[in-house]
């Protein structure tokens, strides 16, 4: 199932090299304003998030999974999509978080 690719984006499981960009955009108060994580968002919190993903193969019933969204052309991580499946995959809740520099480009809709 993963990675998923569109013309501009690759959506995949988070990995250790994603720590820097994930921490940077999630620690931005203007990005975190409408999210439910605690601020200040620390590198340790970003590491825990990435570590939790390592235990899963992808979206799994009953678990939130954060998927990295990267620009296919450059490999730059610009945000993430959170997915929670329920009812054996019959229902899904999605959340999107993107670095401020990448707002307004249609990436959330595309992802």
- Residue 49: inside a domain, yes or no? yes
Query: Percent of the chain scored above 70 by pLDDT?
Result: 100
- Residue 108: inside a domain, yes or no? no
Q: pTM of this prediction?
A: 0.92
For residue 81, give the H/E element and its range: strand 77-86
Pairing of strands 91-98, 77-86: antiparallel
- Residue 111: inside a domain, yes or no? no
Contact predicate 24/99, CB 8 Å: yes
Q: Could you tell me the two tokens for 42?
A: 């620390």
Containing domain of residue 63, as a range? 4-103
Peptide bond into 3 cis (omega under 30): yes
Per-residue pLDDT band for 4 (boundaries 50, 70, 90) equals very high
59 has a pLDDT exceeding 90: no
Residue 88 is part of a domain; what is its CATH number?
A: 3.40.630.30
The neighbour count for residue 106, using CB atoms within 10 Å, is 11
- Residue 109: inside a domain, yes or no? no
pLDDT recorded at residue 8: 98
Q: How many domains does the chain have?
A: 1
34 has a pLDDT exceeding 90: no
pLDDT digits (tens, 9 = 90+) for 63-111: 889 999 999 999 999 999 999 999 988 899 999 999 999 999 999 999 9
């Amino acid at each position: 199932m993963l990675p998923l690719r569109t013309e501009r984006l690759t959506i995949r499981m988070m990995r250790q090299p994603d720590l820097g960009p994930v921490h940077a955009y999630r620690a931005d108060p203007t990005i975190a304003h409408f999210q439910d994580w605690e601020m200040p968002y620390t590198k340790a919190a970003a590491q825990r998030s990435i570590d939790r993903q390592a235990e899963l193969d992808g979206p799994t019933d009953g678990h939130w999974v954060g998927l990295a969204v990267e620009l296919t052309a450059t490999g730059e991580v610009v945000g993430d999509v959170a997915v929670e499946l329920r009812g054996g995959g019959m229902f899904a809740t999605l959340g999107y978080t993107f670095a401020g520099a990448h707002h307004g480009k249609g990436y959330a809709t595309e992802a």
